[in-house]
Amino acid sequence: MTDSDTPVLEVEELTKYFSAGSGGSLLDTLLRRSDDSYVKAVDGVSFELMENETIGVVGESGCGKSTMGKSILRLIEPTSGDVRFKGESVTDLSGRQMRKKRTEMQFIFQDPTSALNPKMKIKHLLNEPLENFYDFDKAELAQRTDDLLEQIDLPKTVKDRYPHELSGGQKQRVVIGRAIASNPDLIVADEPVTGLDVSVQSNIITMLEEIQEEFELSLLFIAHDLSVVRYISDRVMVLYLGHITELGDSEAVFTNPQHPYTRELKRAIPRSHPDDDPAETEITEGEPPSPLDPPSGCPFHTRCPAYIGDICEEEYPDPVELQDGRLVSCHHFEEGDPPIEGEYEQYAKTTIADGRPSPTADSEGDGTDQVVSANANGGDVDGQ
């Protein structure tokens, strides 16, 4: 938790466009029309992350979360924009300077198996980040390994094991141990619990929370759905097609989401109780459009249950600061006319053919033609 007003990270108008032919999803490939088309994965993102603060980053698959995180650490080169870390721009640092800087700003990848060299023992994996940049002798390294194992709640007996001998949850703990080995000020964690069993997820989230407090570090925690980031985050950022649609206090965004997209994400949280209303568990209108051919104006207008009219298709909505300090990019707020709760609920229950409310739709229809689970990329269950 933070009460600091000193930013550790300042991100200004960050963009990352991938050129056509450089990969991406099947839909991106099909939509590629010429060599000068671009996948606009991150499209002008600005925010500050304070000392000792956690921001949860959420949004459906393909909305640019990973690309944003990797661009911040220059694991992929941003197309434009500026990133300042502790007041210093990292945009123009040389490769060597940036590698050194990454001891202070670490990245945790989603898949722990591919993040760990299978031929190295756990003790060497934990030592490696220290050996590269610090001058510890053998005894100091051994002590540091023991300390790290304690911090990541693993028994000392795993030291001489190899990654394949550990469960998915244990491997992710080692990945986190490697990230904190150099005492960083910032960690970008890209879906660190996706694909793990629910109970393992919550243990790892709790551990990350404890580490964040103990090390007083700042955390950008990327996840698919709001419920995962709810408790660990001070603030939540919602991304849609490379844009921030809502950014504000975590509890406020969760309990009272304001952007129509955030409301849809909340409705899409997988039900945790068999008596929950299934209608509250799915996003109603298929997948987001491809960032290779994003809609004009507000990128969410093609699916928006609170669509107003031409303005949504023609202009990108500037972020509006609400009374509680959160930022929302939606024409409703620009017009000083937030979507009314009841009206919104009515819209959201209609069957949506082209992404907008249909006057002829049966409001009781189940809409199964269009529904997709926001958890579609949830991955395998880890059997720790």
Ligand X SMILES: Nc1ncnc2c1ncn2[C@@H]1O[C@H](COP(=O)(O)OP(=O)(O)OP(=O)(O)O)[C@@H](O)[C@H]1O
The reply on whether position 383 binds ligand X by CB under 6 A is no
Which position among 39, 49, 211, 268 is part of the footprint of ligand X (CB under 6 A)?
A: 39
Are 68 and 191 in contact, with CB atoms under 8 Å apart? Answer: no
Is the CB of residue 110 less than 8 Å from the CB of residue 192? yes
By the rule CB under 6 A, 261 interacts with ligand X: no
Site string for ligand X, 272-291 (x = CB under 6 A): -------------------x
Quick note: the x/- pattern for ligand X over 207-236, rule CB under 6 A, is -----------------x------------
Judged by CB under 6 A, the stretch of 15-23, 83-91, 150-158, 262-270 that binds ligand X is 15-23
Quote the least distance from Cβ 375 to ligand X, whole Å. Answer: 11
Q: Which of 43, 32, 52, 34 is nearest to 71 (CA)?
A: 43
Which residue type does 74 have? R
> For residues 64 and 367, which CB has a smaller minimum distance to ligand X in the complex?
64
Of 185, 183, 191, 169, nearest to 69 (Cα)?
191
- What mask of x and - would describe binding to ligand X in positions 290 to 329, judged by CB under 6 A? -x--------------------------------------
**Spatial distance between the Cα atoms of 179 and 112, rounded to a whole number of angstroms:** 12
Query: In the sheet that 88-89 helps form, which strands lie side by side, from edge to edge?
Result: 38-50, 7-19, 80-85, 88-89
Q: How far is the CB of 198 from ligand X (least distance, A)?
A: 18
* Helix, strand or coil, per DSSP, at residue 357: coil
Stretch that binds ligand X, among 16-24, 115-123, 277-285, 363-371 (CB under 6 A): 16-24
Q: How far is the CB of 283 from ligand X (least distance, A)?
A: 14
Q: Whose Cβ is closer to ligand X: residue 64's or residue 195's?
A: 64
CB 185 within 8 A of CB 86: yes
The size of the chain, in residues, is: 384
Q: Are 228 and 269 in contact (CB under 8 A)?
A: no
Nearer to ligand X, 28 or 264 (CB): 28
Q: Is 375 an interacting residue with respect to ligand X (CB under 6 A)?
A: no
- Bridge pairing between strands 7-19 and 38-50: antiparallel
CA distance 226 to 253: 9
Least separation in angstroms between residue 65's CB and ligand X is 4
How far apart CA 352 and CA 165 sit, in angstroms, is 48
For residue 235, which phi and psi values (nearest 5 degrees)?
-125, 160
- Considering only 43-51, 55-63, 93-101, 332-340, which stretch makes contact with ligand X by CB under 6 A? 55-63
Closest distance to ligand X from the beta carbon of 215 (Å):
25
Is residue 202 exposed (0-12), middle (13-18) or buried (19+ Cβ within 10 Å)? middle
51 binds ligand X (CB under 6 A): no
Rule CB under 6 A: which residues touch ligand X? 18, 22-25, 28, 39, 41, 59, 61-67, 224, 291, 377
